[in-house]
Chain A
């Protein structure tokens, strides 16, 4: 047999197969490696990751080293004559026992870190995190504060019509705020499909499962802004539900909570006193709300996705019966991806978005729906 394996090829091959090694040199750079994060746990996880990684590299160097040595020296072209041994119990026992020992060495720190991670007792603050398609909802159990947190990256940036910002896809309208130096416990659940709440800097990732509750905790020592995103495929806009957590000093946090409570009271009062809006006002607010909340499924042009998300343009729902239209927006449609927006939007936003849907894309019904119509509308049960 002719040989096809020159020395130059061999060196190239060696280089390629060792391309794992440069990883060591850049291990600290976060665009190549796991983040160290900002909590004790995340540091432990990072150290664990690096230990295991170095052990794996060492194993690889030994095994591949022997293999390449054999490939260089025990070649037919070098006149190597094949030995005929085909087994050695001693060797077999050796290379069963050594990996077992290495594995035990790996398992000890892993077990220690894991037990620490799972101990969520004695928390100072509890936040209920609820995932839904495609946003997060945060509710502070110790304070009367709750809100939705949505992607804030403009559509123009996603569609390449505008320059992408620094935190492209990692920015939200209302970040979750937590105090520093406190043990914060998160309870996870979901409204529809399974989501997964992941903030790499805290080294926490936990699934949000509909109907079930999961818990996890963190303690952040320094103020800062930390970003993550949903980690479990949850449908069309899975890639567009980021998480932003802002850690504030305890005093700042308390001030923030107070401001939220105040703002909520003001918004409620404003809602009560709201005067009827003009068509222009309704359409402007409606368009803004529609593009933030509805366009993910029904599309910006109102045409939906055939077979998945129904079109609103020209649909009976948006052209005919106003109460039915209000009802489906407020109460959702069971067994489909249509959510109940009654708890998510203010009555003026609901009124505006319904007005918008009845007057946009050639749906020229001319209907105006006001906040009081939404509040007064009877809500017959959905099937």
Chain B
């Protein structure tokens, strides 16, 4: 296919100085100026790991304060800053960049492309992020502190009643929005134009498919987020009244616009996870993925449905019964394609020949725990019951099951799965298993009791609580500390691999693994598929 040939030449044309295999510039400039998709992928992954620990530290402050009733460590205003930053950092700094990192590393290899289609933009979209998050985190040291209106920053709490960190927050969100949009464009262009000859749509690995759909979601909703924060900025500083009833605006409209972004956003964080699990489960079941085509269709329908369910975040704002019914039904409908996915994974395992290495263990935990999160999501869709669940720890439990044991577990699974390909050495399986079991136990101590306190009536985002919630909260805090500590094992495993301490990995790595990434040597050479492979 001539177009692919052409693009391969074009990409190598960008950097004459590293034409030869595995010759790469050294020192800091390698990372600053790099246009290599593997380098940028590594940067994204390391950055997200750092953010994961920073966001985790904020969570630890929250859990330490909530260990006992009463105010012990921080004042309520700082507590609100912690919940706000924890949410923002984990969503935009940890989970999203981690998926972009995996996309950078794996998509070109999986489709037989030499690099991402727009390598210099790729460099730019990564290097915006450290600036964006430095701006956001710097607000912690300002008078009045960081934003404290929650990661959902509902107006007018985030406009009239917020501190001046709002301006910094808005600028940081604009920057990371630009980064995400550039990343999305890059993924779409790469997948559309750089597939190797014979790599037609229905041969794409599911990870590529889910990322393509995710990229379109990003492109559709990140500009809406940018619009929302712009309106917050002009309402606060330039006298507009988008969200101020005094000037004819409407605070509830903020929630409509925010959740029009926000609901697709949560699928942005989970669709690539589906892709990762759909790669790992067949590899360790030694059996092809069950229902590939229905997986693609299910992913597309979830993406579509994500645009018509946003009001389920707002049932208590007061709306006509007809609207409540419509959004209840559309939300319940999401269970159907999501169910199809889970059934397909189980069917993939059925009559397979399974082994249970660390990536598989995390994927299995993903399937079970994500499903629990999905089922509590179904409960939340039921409007009359939602009036009792809304804004309680039941919701907190729900979205942490979906995001931590969902998105984060899939990321960890993916990291273990591809680590030998990235570094060329096998990770320490015993440490991997230890990491898995510690994480599994502690994450459930952490999040499962949240269902109980939520049902019993504990609202979210409160720094102090009534006495009947004390026992569970102490347990939750212990689980949180243990989960945080367990992740240090992961860091140690990664460092060990990065320092090439371990058994040399073969090209195939995993017996049952399928896909182009397993046809190249481990570690993956600095340049791969400069001549496109032929896909039969």
Contacts and interface: CB of A to CB of B under 8 A. Distances in A.
Nearest to A210: B245
Contacts of A212: 245, 250-252, 318
Contacts of A164: 69-70, 467
Nearest to B245: A211
A111 to B, nearest CB: 6
Interface stretch (A64-72, A257-265, A270-278, A286-294): A64-72
Interface string B350-391: 111111110001001001100110011011001111011011
A96 B336 contact: yes
Contacts of A32: 452, 455-456
Contact of A209 (B317, B346, B378): B317
Nearest to A45: B384
A337 interface: yes
B444 A113 contact: no
Interface stretch (B143-151, B183-191, B484-492): B143-151
B332 interface: yes
B440 to A, nearest CB: 7
B495 interface: no
Contacts of A307: 142-145, 163-164
A269 interface: no
A31 B143 CA distance: 40
A306 B77 CA distance: 11
B347 A91 contact: yes
Given A60-B371, A80-B353, A168-B69, A34 B455 contact: yes
Given A76-B354, A235-B157, A308-B145, A95 B339 contact: yes
A323 interface: no
Given A75-B353, A239-B464, A106 B382 contact: yes
Contact of A70 (B349, B452, B467): B349
Interface in B122-149: 142-145, 148-149
Contacts of A198: 391, 459
Contacts of B382: 48-49, 52, 106, 110
Given A48-B385, A91-B347, A210 B156 contact: yes
Instruction: Say which size band chain A's interface belongs to.
Output: 35 or more
A16 B440 contact: yes
Interface string B375-411: 1101100111101101110000000000000000000
B349 A71 contact: yes
Contacts of A253: none
Contact of B292 (A9, A86, A237): A86
Contact of A75 (B288, B354, B361, B364): B354
Interface stretch (B1-9, B262-270, B323-331): B323-331
A278 B172 CA distance: 54
Interface in A138-193: 157-160, 164, 166-170, 188, 192-193
A32 B397 CA distance: 14
Contacts of B336: 96, 99-100, 103
A53 B462 contact: no
A96 B353 contact: no
A347 interface: no
Interface string B449-471: 00110011101111111111000
B328 A107 contact: yes
Contacts of B293: 87
Contact of B468 (A31, A92, A204): A31
Most buried by A among B75, B157, B288: B157
B39 to A, nearest CB: 31
Interface stretch (A224-232, A357-365, A374-382): A224-232
A82 interface: yes
Nearest to B380: A52
B335 A99 contact: yes
B525 interface: no
Given A1-B357, A63-B346, A210-B245, A234 B286 contact: no
Contact of B452 (A31, A81, A95, A210): A31
B28 interface: no
B365 to A, nearest CB: 9
A68 to B, nearest CB: 9
Given A16-B441, A235-B157, A235-B161, A45 B387 contact: yes
A238 interface: yes
B157 A45 contact: no
Interface in A315-367: 335-337
A233 B20 CA distance: 57
B518 to A, nearest CB: 15
Interface string B38-80: 0000000000000000000000000000000111100111001
A114 B384 contact: yes
A86 B289 contact: yes
B63 to A, nearest CB: 15
Interface in A90-117: 91-92, 95-96, 99-100, 103, 106-107, 110-111, 113-115, 117
A240 interface: yes
Interface in A1-26: 1-5, 9, 13, 16-17, 19-20, 23
B296 interface: no
Contacts of A215: 318
A188 B318 CA distance: 10
Given A82-B353, A194-B154, A169 B465 contact: yes
B156 A192 contact: yes
A86 B344 CA distance: 9
Contacts of B346: 63, 66-67, 70
Nearest to B433: A4
B448 interface: yes
B67 to A, nearest CB: 12
B429 interface: yes
Contacts of B144: 305-308
A3 B289 CA distance: 22
A233 B457 contact: no
A40 interface: no
Given A107-B332, A236-B148, 19 more contacts: A31-B468, A34-B388, A45-B387, A45-B388, A49-B388, A60-B375, A66-B346, A76-B353, A87-B290, A107-B329, A158-B70, A193-B154, A196-B316, A212-B252, A231-B391, A239-B459, A239-B461, A239-B465, A308-B144
Closest 6 CB pairs of A and B: A211-B245, A307-B144, A307-B143, A239-B462, A5-B356, A214-B318
26 contacts: A34-B455, A49-B382, A49-B388, A52-B378, A63-B343, A64-B368, A67-B349, A71-B364, A76-B286, A81-B353, A106-B382, A110-B382, A157-B70, A168-B466, A169-B466, A193-B154, A203-B387, A205-B391, A209-B317, A215-B318, A231-B390, A236-B75, A239-B463, A307-B144, A308-B144, A308-B163
Interface of B: 69-72, 75-77, 80, 142-145, 148-150, 154, 156-157, 160-161, 163-164, 244-246, 250-252, 285-294, 316-318, 321, 324-325, 328-329, 332-333, 335-336, 339-340, 342-343, 346-347, 349-357, 361, 364, 367-368, 371-372, 375-376, 378-379, 382-385, 387-388, 390-392, 429, 433, 437, 440-441, 444, 448, 451-452, 455-457, 459-468, 510-512
